[in-house]
Amino acid sequence: MATANHTDLGNAIPHSENGEPARASVLLKLLDFDPPVNVTLAKDLDPKFNEKLLRDYEPFWEWVKQLKRSLELQKTADGTSGEKHPFHADPYELKSIHIQAVDLFGPRIGFLKYKSIIQNKTSNKGKPMELPGSIFMRGGSVGMLMILRPKDASDERWVIMTEQARIPAGSLSFLEIPAGMIDERTHDFKGAAANEIEEETGLKINREHLLDMTELALKGSPNPENLKAAMYPSPGGSDEFIALFLWEQEMERLEIESLREKLTGDKKQGEMITLKLIPYGDLWKVATRDGKTMVAWALYESLKRAGILDDLGNVVDDGAGVPGRSAGMTLRNRRIAKRDPAKGPEDKGDSKSRKKKRV
């Protein structure tokens, strides 16, 4: 984590949204930068927002660390060909960070909006050039491509989807693959979608039954800036990154038919999230609007086309020439995903635990 130190400087003069100086109070300084960088606050922020909340907000410090690493690469070779960085002659520097808005989720930061000023010295006719630096910060998450196969037809596949309100898109019924987080303590898939899946289907999604498709696809790819093994849906405006996982399971046909009947019923009054079971062949048509769904579908298809996954979703080659399931579980073992006995028969299979991996 980059070093931050509270400072009592009264008022500072950072750059404002339009690049003009504006007076704002300094919350803290980032001392790992040379010269140190002021983090300033807009005057009308939630009064409950303070230095401790920012210190505890991991996405911000991950971004600071990531940006510092990338800026330092300007002084060295590009990490792939040995040539100098394109900005080597006139490197960019972080000048200031101005926090403009914050949404608190209870006692913690949910969303953060700020303007970072990143300039070089004389690239534009003797005047500094500035990189776009307006950021909507929300941190990372995960998406799940959940595929069910009937045991009597391995080429038949069904996908579990969620439908819920997504107000930023102006929608009250947006169709997408389940999204959420991986609990660092239990390693289970958690969030509103995960709760709905467990409640409606009895399926509890554990990390050890998942295959990280983004990590598998990116293995061996150049990454001099050490970016996350994830997809960035809107890197021009947000830090958000999404790791995409595959969860593929065989079930008895009667179980799948039972789920289909249950999930195609009328939406309950006031229900926030509903589940749908759609044919895999229709996924690209019905979910084109959702970026993570389309990337998950493309990764699944591409990993199979490249011979890394077989037709049953098993890893044939992990991309480094190593056969077997080094990047995940076999389909047979993924059948043991926990299921509530009160909501359906327990899956059978080898339930030996494997070492859990944090996302």
Query: For 55-79, what is each residue's pLDDT tens digit?
Result: 999 999 999 999 999 999 998 765 5
Domain chopping of the chain, boundaries: 4-137, 140-343
3-state helix, strand, coil in the chain (%, to 5): 25, 35, 45
Decide if pLDDT at 262 tops 50: yes
Whether the full predicted model's pTM is greater than 0.85, yes or no, is: no
CA 218 to each of CA 125, 128, 215: distance values in angstroms, whole numbers, following the listed order: 40, 36, 5
Q: What proportion of the chain, given as a percentage, has pLDDT over 70?
A: 77
Decide if pLDDT at 356 tops 50: no
Angle between helices 192-201 and 253-263 (to 10 degrees): 120
- Please give the pLDDT value at position 110: 94
Beta bridge partners of 248: 147
- How far, in Å, CA of 255 to CA of 152, rounded? 12
Q: One-letter amino acid identity for 256?
A: I
As a CATH number, domain 140-343 is 3.90.79.10
207 — pLDDT class (breaks 50, 70, 90): confident
